[in-house]
Chains A and B, each alone.
Chain A
Amino acid sequence: MSRFPRPFEGTWTEHYPELGTDPVTYDDSISPEFYELERRAIFKRAWLNVGRVEQLAKPGSYFTKEVAVTNASIVVVRDREGEVRAFHNVCRHRGNKLVWNDFPREETEGVARQFVCKYHGWRYGLDGALNHVQQESEFFDLDKSCYGLVPVHCEVWAGFIFVNFAHQPEQSLREFLGPMITALEGYPFGRMTERFAYRTEVHANWKLFVDAFAEFYHAPVLHAKQSRERYAAAGQKLGFEAPYYRIDGPHRLVSTAGVRNWEMGDDAVKRSEVLTRGGLFGPWDKPDLGKMPPGVNPGRCDPWGLDSFQLFPNFVILIWSQGWYLTYHYWPTSYNTHTFDGNVYFLPARTARERIAHEMTAVTFKEFALQDGNTLEATQLSLETRAVDRFHLNDQEVLLRHLHKVVGDWVDEYSFANEGQP
């Protein structure tokens, strides 16, 4: 019996008939060959988020990003005119990595007036132009104007910086994002500059972690031991049901109904949460963010807990009703490993009390994410045995079907166009 209304077809999955209801395979998550296809078909064609404009506070601010899945290192910089640009992080002289500190594989950031190669001192402007060549007269027919840094397509939406590694992207960033995502414009992302950043290496295919955060069916079971007993027992009895799902092009959304810790009995809430006024769902005292854009809580759920917007291929924006947001990035490093980045953003704390509520929220986020991360390696190892190759997904897991279908579609389309075979 449903607690929330479902589409007229009766289920969310059947509302999107192209997804089917059959058992699925995870062959796309255990194959080195398929991973090589994904790199070319998806990560070298889709718009990829690499950060936010607040990371580039002023002209000359830059950061580097190692993108193993496209075999690239890039430098993202705000130029003198304030424009955000991205370049391959490769000196045009002998191919040395241009911007790095002590360790060439480590990312770095800073403020620069120009980029100087450590090897022979070639200098590049913030616009990528090659401005100075050491002992230029020793070279043969070197036209400096032809040897600027190699640009990477870079566009900004709502303060999120995206790059595209295609020679010529097939869509503009806005077209790629589509109406469900662009309707978030106006959300005060730019004001939420208090950031807690988390990173880890995960021994599982990147899609398995996207899957883990794309359904909350796991929550009452996997996270049972994160809560006071009474709360956990109620969760397991009821199970989990999301009030709203939506699919728009390659992107997905799930919303949840609200949980109001502060309205629950003392035996269901942690003692330290009562005093710090923070927890998994965020600070208990909600900041006034003004009017929300129409893209937030598009299902008009009431009560409303959060929206998890999953942007294809590897980026999640999770907006909480308590006035804060999270982002997740899943950066593949091989067919069965990836780097996970989680960022927690708040309006800057004005008082110690607000700071403590944020700390409680961030600490609790980590406790839950560790449990989510724990199952992944076990799932990867188990799938790789290939002992079982058909798996059932329920209606609360509709978004998993969609991710794997879109990945398959992009790979098929690319293979057909480039190699003449589906």
Chain B
Amino acid sequence: MTAMLPPPFAALEPFAPTWCLATESERWRRRHVSTMADLSAFYDAVFPRLEEAIEFCNQFPLDDLPPDVTNLLQLIHSLVMVSMAVEIFGQPKTIDAADAVLDRVREPMP
């Protein structure tokens, strides 16, 4: 299988197929079909590498990221997506939000 992420982040490859997602709606959906164990495993693996990963992406022009760096940036966006669930809520769903919905219908890429 070819690597999705830049070589220094090879240890995060197991999470790449699940969490390298281009849009917020895909990341939101993934968070909500995951268990807390899934979210914590992802968070615990990526969070210690977050600063390094941001710094790595930052070396490239944002409008011309190589494909593996785009994947790494998407992985960081996914960490952002799960951070509230893991750090604050202790559940995938926004706490006290009942069945409220808010769809992101437009966003900058990547």
Contact = CB atoms under 8 A, between A and B. Distances in A.
Contacts, number: 125
Interface in A173-205: 194-201
B80 A350 contact: no
Interface of B: 24, 47, 50-51, 54, 57-58, 60, 62, 65, 73, 76-77, 79-81, 83-84, 87-89, 94-108, 110
B73 A275 contact: no
Interface in A276-332: 276
Contact of B102 (A227, A359, A370): A370
Interface in A225-248: 225-228
Nearest to B60: A352
Interface string A348-373: 11111111101110111011011101
A330 to B, nearest CB: 14
Interface in A253-280: 270-273, 275-276
A233 to B, nearest CB: 14
Contacts of B80: 272, 276, 356, 359-360, 363
Main secondary structure of the interface of A (DSSP, over half): helix
11 contacts: A194-B108, A195-B108, A198-B103, A199-B105, A226-B88, A270-B88, A351-B58, A352-B65, A362-B24, A362-B107, A363-B81
A250 interface: no
A374 interface: yes
A275 B62 contact: no
Given A226-B84, A355-B62, A363-B81, A275 B105 contact: no
A338 B84 CA distance: 28
Contacts of B81: 363
A270 B87 contact: yes
B58 A352 contact: yes
Contacts of B77: 356, 359
Ranked nearest first, the 6 interchain pairs of A and B with the lowest CB-CB distance are A352-B57, A272-B83, A197-B106, A370-B97, A373-B100, A374-B98
A200 B94 CA distance: 16
A222 interface: yes
A59 interface: no
Contacts of B103: 198-200
Contact of B97 (A270, A352, A362, A371): A371
A342 interface: yes
Contacts of B96: 222, 225, 371, 374
Contacts of B60: 352
Interface in A213-227: 222, 225-227
A270 B84 CA distance: 8
B100 A200 contact: yes
Given A272-B80, A355-B108, A359-B80, A366 B62 contact: no
A197 B105 contact: yes
Contacts of A226: 84, 88, 95
B51 to A, nearest CB: 5
A362 B83 CA distance: 13
A225 B95 contact: yes
Given A196-B108, A356-B80, A350 B87 contact: no
Given A200-B102, A363-B83, A367-B97, 7 more contacts: A195-B106, A199-B103, A270-B83, A270-B88, A352-B65, A359-B80, A360-B80
Contacts of A351: 58, 62
Contacts of B94: 367, 370-371
Contacts of A228: 88
A356 B24 CA distance: 13
A407 B30 CA distance: 42
Nearest to B98: A374
Contact of A355 (B24, B51, B73, B79): B73
A352 B77 CA distance: 11
Contacts of A196: 24, 104, 106-108
